[in-house]
Amino acid sequence: MQPHGLAAPHRLPAADPTRAGRLAALAGRLRRADAAAAIAPMTARTTPGCRPRAHVRAPGSVAAAYAGPTPSANPDTSAPRAPRAEGGRPAVGDELELTCERLGGGARGICLAPGGFVLMVPRALPGEHLRARVTLIRDRYGEAERLETLAPHARAAPPPCPHHAACGGCPLQALQYDAQLEEKRNTVAQLLTRVGGVPREDLDRIVAPAAGAPPGRRLGYRNKLQFAFGAKTWSGLPENGGGDGGGARLAAAAAADAAARGLGLGFLKQGTSDVVVPIGECLLQGAAGNRALAAARAAAAALGLEPHDAPSGRGVLRHLIIRSAGEDGGGGGAGEAEQAADPRPGSGRGSPAGVQLQVVIVTSECPSGDVRPMAEAIRASVPEVVSVVHSVAAAAPGGGGGSSGSKASDSRGGRRPRGGGRGRQQQQQQRRREPQPRAGGDGGSDDEGDGGGGGAADARGGARALRVARSEVLLGAPTLEQRLGGLRFSVGPHSFFQTNGRMAEVLYDLVADAVAEAMGQLPAGSVVLDLYTGTGTIALSLARRLGPGVRVVGADVNSEAIADARSNAEANGGGGARFVCGDLDRLVEEEGALGLGGRGGGVGVVVVDPARAGMGRPVVEFLRRSGAARVVYVSCNAATQARDVARLAGAYALRSVVPVDLFPQTEHVETVAFLERVGG
- DSSP output for 426-467: HHHHTS------EETTEE--SS-SSSES--S-BTTB---EE-
pLDDT: is 571 or 56 the higher one? 571
Instruction: For the chain, give the mean pLDDT.
Output: 76
CATH 3.40.50.150 domain span(s) along the chain: 496-677
Measure the CA–CA gap between 190 and 493, rounded to whole angstroms.
37
- What pLDDT sits at residue 580? 92
Mean pLDDT value across residues 87-98 = 89
**Separation of alpha carbons 499 and 502, rounded Å:** 9
Statement: residue 305 has pLDDT above 80? yes
Please report which confidence band the pLDDT of residue 252 belongs to, taking 50, 70 and 90 as the band edges: low
Residue 680 banded pLDDT, cuts 50, 70, 90:
low
CB 66 within 8 A of CB 37: yes
- Strands 129-137, 118-122: pairing is unpaired
pLDDT of residue 529: 95
The pLDDT-based confidence of 475 (bands split at 50, 70, 90) is: very high
Residue type, 419: G
Of 491, 619, 472, 502, the residue nearest 555 (C-alpha): 619
Q: Are 144 and 132 in contact (CB under 8 A)?
A: yes
- The average pLDDT across 302-321 equals 93
pLDDT-based confidence at residue 574 (cuts at 50, 70, 90): confident
Average confidence (pLDDT) over 116-132 = 92
The answer to whether the annotation marks 532 as part of a ligand binding site is yes
| pLDDT value of position 404 | 29
Local confidence band at 571 (pLDDT 50, 70, 90 cut-offs): very high
Indicate the pLDDT class of residue 602, thresholds 50, 70 and 90: confident
Buried b (16+ CB within 10 A) or exposed e, 522-554: beeebbbbbbbbbbbbbbbbbbbbbeeebbbbb
**Strands 118-122 and 108-112: what pairing?**
antiparallel
Higher-confidence position of 572 and 56: 572
What is the predicted pLDDT for the residue at 592?
A: 65
**pLDDT band, residue 62 (cuts 50/70/90):** very low
What is the structure's pLDDT at 621?
Answer: 93
Please report the pLDDT score of residue 135 as a whole number.
95
**Band of residue 642 on the pLDDT scale cut at 50, 70, 90:** very high
Pick the more confident residue, 252 or 615.
615
Residues 228, 166: Cα–Cα separation, whole Å: 15
Instruction: Say which DSSP state 273 is in.
Output: S
Tens-place pLDDT, residues 225-235 = 999 999 988 86
Q: Using the predicted structure, report yes or no on whether residue 664 has a pLDDT greater than 90.
A: yes
Residues of the chain with CATH 2.40.50.140: 17-43+55-167
Lowest mean pLDDT among 95-109, 345-359, 392-406, 453-467: 453-467
Dihedral angle sign, alpha carbons of residues 481, 663, 328, 532: negative
Assess contact for 276 and 233: CB atoms under 8 A. Answer: yes
Which are the contacts of 380, defined by CB distance < 8 A and separation ≥ 6?
A: none
Kindly state the percentage of the chain with pLDDT values over 70.
Answer: 67
Pick from 258-267, 540-549, 647-656: least confident = 258-267
pLDDT at 396 over 60: yes
Answer yes or no: pTM beyond 0.85.
no
pLDDT at 631: 98
- What pLDDT, on a 0 to 100 scale, did the predictor assign at position 525? 87
Using pLDDT thresholds of 50, 70 and 90, give the confidence band for residue 71: very low
Per the CB < 8 A criterion, the answer to whether 380 and 570 are in contact is no
The span from the CA of 680 to the CA of 644, in Å, is 20
Active site members? 636
609 among annotated binding-site residues: yes
308 has pLDDT over 90: yes
| The pairing of beta strand 442-443 with beta strand 438-439 | antiparallel
Q: Environment class of residue 253 by beta-carbon count within 10 Å: exposed (0-12), middle (13-18) or buried (19+)?
A: middle
| pLDDT, position 29 | 53
Please name which of 508, 518, 525, 516 lies closest in space to residue 609, comparing C-alpha atoms. Answer: 508
Mean pLDDT of 214-219: 94
Q: pLDDT band at 597, cuts 50/70/90?
A: low
Beta-bridged to residue 233, according to DSSP, are 276
**Contact at 8 Å (CB) between 377 and 313?**
no
> What pLDDT, on a 0 to 100 scale, did the predictor assign at position 464?
52
Quote the Cα angle for 51-485-574, to 5°: 115
Backbone angles phi, psi at 122, to 5 degrees: -55, 140
Lowest mean pLDDT of 22-26, 78-82, 154-158, 544-548, name the range. Answer: 78-82
CATH class of the domain at 17-43+55-167: mainly beta
| Residue 63, CA atoms < 13 Å, CB-side half-sphere | 15
Among 102, 89, 88, 100, which Cα is nearest to 138's? 89
In CATH, the number for domain 496-677 is 3.40.50.150
